[in-house]
Amino acid sequence: MSEPMRLSARVTAPLKAVHHALTDPGELRVWLAEHAEVELPHRYAFWGRHTPDGAAPHQRPLHVDDHTLRFSWLLGGEETTVEISLEEESAESTIVTLTQTHFDQESAMTEGGVLGTLQTFWCLSIANLVDHLEGRGLTPKADFTSPIMREQLVIGGSPEAVFDSLVDPEKFSRWFGYKVDLEPYVGGRFAMGGFEANDTPAKVVALEPGRGLSLEWPGLGVSSWELEDSGGATRLTFVESGFDEKNPPYAGWMGWLSGIAELRRFHELSDWRPIWLDASIPGSPEQTEVSG
């Protein structure tokens, strides 16, 4: 069996508050799932349209203490194990580390199964946990019951500034947490990992300064960022289109949404630093393929 998937992030909140957000059903329904029920040590369950294979709960608690939560999660016929550990960095800062067994990287790249969604599901969920505990608005969650992939949110920066961070490769790489090369013109290339490392780059199919950017991924569809002024801030509409609606690319969708969560912080926090403590922010299957 491969090594468990691992994510680690910093949240500016006391350890006790983070633990409460992980184990209180009302808190879980804010940042994680549509439905949640918790009566530890006997029950720990979450499900609904924002959860992979979420028609019914499939979790079972294994262990809980002041620093650790461990539970089993039946997914795709596999009994996986999730462990979330908390480390107090300071009185107001906590390191959250999550591992899960049975993550399937090949499924993530091909959007071929529920196990392939786990990395980006947790990446987006942890990003929302951090923003929830720090008193910020959340990034939209994926809806596993719908083939429509269109989300809106407001970023505290001008459309010109947000656009610049989408087309400047150095800035894009900073907030996304992974090297990106980009030729900022229609017909140009966009490559995760850089042009030298990626022989199947996306193609820029639309670009309008201050208004938006669209990338076409070979055989996968189009990702579009549409920007509008909103009282000095930016209303961002993010859309995925052109994909196989019988097999929506939820893993990639959640990867982009978790990246957009960092894009918001990049523009809104004067002392911004990435929440992720790993070498890079886990992103879409395109990124996983390059970095794997």
Report the pLDDT averaged over residues 22-47.
98
Question: Residue 228 to residues 1, 152, 160, 253, 267: CA-CA distances in angstroms?
Answer: 47, 11, 10, 21, 15
Report residue 80 as tokens.
């996986």
pLDDT at 219: 87
pLDDT band (50, 70, 90) for residue 106? low
> What percent of the chain is predicted at pLDDT more than 90?
83
What's the whole-number mean pLDDT along residues 94-120? 82
pLDDT in tens, 136-182: 999 999 999 999 999 999 999 999 999 999 999 999 999 998 899 99
Average pLDDT over residues 86-114: 84
Enumerate residues 6+ apart whose C-beta is below 8 A from 97: 6, 7, 8, 84, 85, 86, 87
**Which pTM value belongs to this model?**
0.91
CA distances from 43 to 68, 71, 117, 132 (A): 15, 10, 24, 24
